[in-house]
């Protein structure tokens, strides 16, 4: 299947404000974490790999505490242009509800520079073992994404133990604002409220 077939099939892209299904290349690989208040509130964690955003839905969002394992359900790839999408997906559409850019920045593949073996992001995805260094505003340092044995789509997002690990921080509750606009998910919902009633 082409990398964005599922994305396009799930949406009416003429009627949704979301970006079209075009793959493109970024010079520096980026990550984005979007807060999304769809049927249930969750965080979409996305990594640019091979011209698309490989994506997971993380119900509780990322933790900065290495002892917390956060469930991450692999979802369909998204176009790179989705990384700065913020807005409200209209009612009746796939994923209806407000989306904001909770954190974003460049990332590095930590498995690319091990002495014993150099593992590409594509290979790491296949292996079910990703290790990346994130340089966001709220989220920094090493994170591992590990595929669980019980199902293809179930992964765990875990903070690696480094100088950015901090069990006392809870950025999903203390820093809810968009890093692009300063708005909260409620601000977005209220702005769209007029045509939502």
Which of helix, strand or coil describes residue 45? strand
Question: What number of other Cβ atoms are within 10 A of residue 118's Cβ?
Answer: 11
Tell me whether residue 53 or residue 158 sits nearer to Mn ion (CB atom).
53
Strands 87-89 and 69-79: unpaired
In whole angstroms, the minimum distance from the beta carbon of 55 to Mn ion comes to: 8
Size of interface with Mn ion, in residues (CB under 5 A): 2
Among 4, 35, 36, 55, binds Mn ion (CB under 5 A): 36
**Mask 67-96, x = binds Mn ion (CB under 5 A)?**
------------------------------
44 touches Mn ion by CB under 5 A: yes
User: Stretches 6-14, 42-50, 61-69, 148-156: which one binds Mn ion (CB under 5 A)?
Assistant: 42-50
Backbone angles phi, psi at 84, to 5 degrees: -115, 25
Nearest CA to 75 out of 61, 60, 101, 55 is that of 55
The residue number whose beta carbon is nearest to Mn ion equals: 36
103 touches Mn ion by CB under 5 A: no
User: Stretches 34-42, 86-94, 111-119, 161-169: which one binds Mn ion (CB under 5 A)?
Assistant: 34-42
Nearest CA to 98 out of 10, 29, 181, 170 is that of 181
**Binding to Mn ion, residues 149-168 (CB under 5 A):** none
Nearest CA to 21 out of 12, 34, 29 is that of 12
In whole angstroms, the minimum distance from the beta carbon of 110 to Mn ion comes to: 26
Q: Is 151 exposed, middle or buried (0-12, 13-18, 19+ CB in 10 A)?
A: exposed
C-alpha–C-alpha distance, residues 19 and 13, integer Å: 7
User: Stretches 28-36, 63-71, 100-108, 187-195: which one binds Mn ion (CB under 5 A)?
Assistant: 28-36
C-alpha–C-alpha distance, residues 62 and 166, integer Å: 12
User: Stretches 13-21, 30-38, 118-126, 167-175: which one binds Mn ion (CB under 5 A)?
Assistant: 30-38
Give the interface with Mn ion as residue ranges (CB under 5 A): 36, 44
């Amino acid at each position: 299947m082409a990398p964005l077939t599922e994305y396009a099939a799930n949406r009416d892209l003429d009627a949704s404000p979301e970006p079209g299904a075009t793959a493109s290349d970024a010079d520096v690989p980026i990550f984005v974490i979007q807060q999304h208040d769809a049927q249930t509130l969750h965080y979409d964690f996305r990594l640019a790999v091979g011209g698309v955003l490989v994506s997971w839905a993380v119900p509780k969002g990322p933790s900065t505490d290495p002892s917390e394992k956060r469930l991450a359900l692999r979802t369909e790839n998204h176009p790179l242009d989705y990384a700065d999408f913020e807005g409200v997906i209209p009612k009746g559409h796939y994923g209806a509800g407000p989306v904001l850019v909770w954190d974003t920045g460049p990332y590095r593949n930590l498995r690319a520079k091990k002495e014993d073996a150099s593992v590409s992001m594509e290979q790491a995805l296949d292996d079910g073992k990703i290790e990346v260094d994130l340089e966001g505003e709220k989220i920094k340092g090493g994170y591992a994404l590990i595929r669980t044995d019980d199902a293809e789509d179930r992964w765990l997002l875990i903070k690696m133990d480094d100088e950015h690990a901090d069990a006392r921080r809870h950025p999903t509750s203390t820093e809810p604002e968009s890093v692009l606009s300063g708005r909260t998910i409620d601000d977005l919902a209220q702005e769209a409220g007029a045509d939502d009633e």
